[in-house]
């Protein structure tokens, strides 16, 4: 299993658009072989940071999902939410191998 952690810098005044963007991506990850563990939105502290965590059975499965970016109409529509609203300033992806309880 491989887990992807995404750290977003967002525009606090555009949190509603970010939530719409996040909901679209949660559905797409789950539809295409992954398991989305959710988005974590600002509550206390920094108001311009959001996090996401999702997993795929393998890095190869994640790469297969990535082939749909810019090609699949649902992926394009999800990205359009981000692009047209300007809710995301930047994002950074990191990959982890989870150690889970028995």
Strands (E), 1-102: 2-10, 35-40, 49-56, 88-96
pLDDT band at 46 (very low <50, low <70, confident <90, very high): confident
pLDDT of residue 100: 82
**Paired tokens of 32:** 């295409």
Give the mean model confidence (pLDDT) for residues 89-96.
97
Question: Mean of the per-residue pLDDT values for the chain?
Answer: 95
18 burial level (CB within 10 Å; 0-12, 13-18, 19+): buried
pLDDT tens for 68-83 read 999 999 999 999 999 9
Q: Which domains does the chain have, with CATH numbers?
A: 2-96 (3.30.70.100)
């Amino acid at each position: 299993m491989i887990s992807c952690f995404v750290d977003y810098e967002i525009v606090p005044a555009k949190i509603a658009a970010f939530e719409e963007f996040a909901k679209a991506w949660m559905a797409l990850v789950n539809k295409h072989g992954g398991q989305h563990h959710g988005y974590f939105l600002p509550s206390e502290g920094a108001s311009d940071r959001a996090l996401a965590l999702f997993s795929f059975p393998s890095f190869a499965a994640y790469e297969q999902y990535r082939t749909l970016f810019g090609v699949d109409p649902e992926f394009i529509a999800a990205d359009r939410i981000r692009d047209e609203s300007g809710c995301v300033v930047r994002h950074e992806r990191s990959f982890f191998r989870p150690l889970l309880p028995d």
